[in-house]
Structure 1
Amino acid sequence: MSGPIVVINPNSNQAVTDGLDRALAPFRLDGGPEIKCVTLAEGPFGVESQVHSDQVVLPLVNLLGQHPDASAFVIACYSDPGIDACRSVSPVPVFGIQESGVLTALSRADRIGIVAISGASEKRHRLYMRRMGISDRIAGERALNITVDESARGSGTFARLQEIGNRLIEDGAEALVLGCAGMALHRAPLEAELGIPVIDPTQAAVTAALGAVLAKRF
């Protein structure tokens, strides 16, 4: 039996972790690995700046060591904080949701749009996409300009997602990536509303983790 896929919320907001847990319910397969969502207690309430992203790196590395039975890890923050450090010490695969979400969207469309949590996030995301070598397939990135907590619990979040999604479609996006783990529960209704693929990056990363774990059985 495979150990759990451990999905780590690097911020300390339990509401975000609870939303991830609900969004990942369909991925808990009979006979498949457990999917365990955990919160990084040492993290900021929301990872909303480069400083926040950098400050969780060592706590994330330490948290990996607390789950020696894990079959894979998912870092559930869109800027993939600490992914290189975590991969350097983990004996099992480590997936980042930005990398996984973008790659999944690119398998569905030629040009994609990114829904950012805030304008402050855009440079961090842009640098990562340049590193991935896929900048020329990004139709645009637009920000909701809300907090991580509002993305998970805000009453006006869905209306704002619709507005930004339509603007990205006008920019030429043929698929969208939700650029924050807190948006997970909005994916399906937003896709139905906009009529194009909408990728929740945590679901994309867990799908990749499931594939890696299940492949080891054969």
Structure 2
Amino acid sequence: MTGPIVVINPNSNQAVTDGLKDALAAFNLTGGPKIECLTLEEGPFGIESQFDSDSVVLPLAKLMQSRLDAGAFVIACYSDPGLDTCRSVVPHPVFGIQESGVLTAMARADRFGVIAIADGSIPRHRRTMARMQVLDRLACEIALNMSVDETARGAGTFDQLVDVGTTLKEQGAGAVILGCAGMARHRAPLEAALGIPVIDPTQAAVAMALGALLAG
């Protein structure tokens, strides 16, 4: 049997990691790889700027190097911090949730929308999509303008997600990506409210990791 899929939350907010565990519970298949969710204790409380994103690259890489028992890794932050660096230092498959979420959304709809946590996150996201050469498939990206912690457990978060998701749908999005790992717990009810696919990018990345490992 292969080693576990190690899902790393690069911020130090345990509530986000707990939400990931709940969102990924169904991916623990009998006889399949274990899904293990970790919190990067050295990380900021929320990754909300380019500085925050850059600050976790070396700790992420070192954590992965210490877990050579793993079968695959998932970086559970929508900025995909350290993705290239981590891929260069471990032999295992490493999946970033933005890259995986975008690929999954394009498999479900012609055009997709993204719900970001803040306006400042959007340029980072667009740089990744430009590298992927998929900006022509992006209908729109709109920010909630709240903290990572608020997306994970804020009282009014879901109503704001519905408002932004509805606008994205009106702008032509046939699928919506949750642009922060902290939003994971809202995926299913938001999909029901919007009536179109809502992609939790951590689920998308773990699904790709499972596929890679189960294929041998």
Q: TM-score, normalised by structure 1?
A: 0.98
1:124-143: per-residue Cα shift (whole Å, max 9, x none)?
00111000000001000000
Secondary structure class of the residue paired with 1:107 = helix
Measure the CA separation in 2 of the matches of 1:90 and 1:179: 26
Aligned-residue offset at 1:170: 1.1
For structure 1, list consecutive stretches of 5 or more residues without a partner in the other structure.
Answer: none
What per-residue deviation string (whole Å, max 9, x for no partner) do you get for residues 97-150 of structure 1?
A: 000000000000000000001001000001110000000010000000110000
Equivalents in 1 of 2:213, 2:39: separation in Å? Answer: 22
**1: CA distance, partners of 2:10 / 2:35:** 16
Residues 3-35 of structure 1, C-alpha deviation per residue, up to 9 Å, x if partnerless?
000000000000000000010000000000010
Shift of residue 66 of structure 1?
A: 1.8
Q: Which residue of 1 aligns with 2:28?
A: 28
Determine the structure 2 residue equivalent to 1:82: 82
Alignment of 1:27-176 (within 5 A): 27-176=27-176
Equivalent position of 1:187 in the other structure: 187
Q: Output the CA distance in 1 between the equivalents of 2:200 and 2:161.
A: 13
Identity %: 69
Q: Which amino acid aligns with 1:96?
A: G
**Amino acid of the residue matched to residue 19 of structure 1?**
G
In structure 2, C-alpha distance between the alignment counterparts of 1:174 and 1:65, rounded to whole Å: 39
Aligned length in residues:
216
Alignment partner of 2:95: what SS?
strand
CA drift at 1:90 = 1.1
Moved runs in structure 1, 4+ residues, more than 4 A? none
Q: Which amino acid aligns with 1:102?
A: V
Which segments of 5 or more consecutive residues in structure 2 lack a partner in the other structure? none
Question: Which residue pairs with 1:11 in the alignment?
Answer: 11
| Structure 2 residue identity aligned to 1:211 | G
| TM-score in terms of structure 2 length | 0.99
Amino acid at match of 2:175: A
Partner Cα distance (1:135, 1:144) in 2: 21
C-alpha distance in 1 between matches for 2:117 and 2:25: 24
Report the residue type matching 1:212 in the other structure: A
User: What RMSD, in angstroms, separates the aligned Cα atoms of the two structures?
Assistant: 0.4
Secondary structure of the 1:11 match is coil
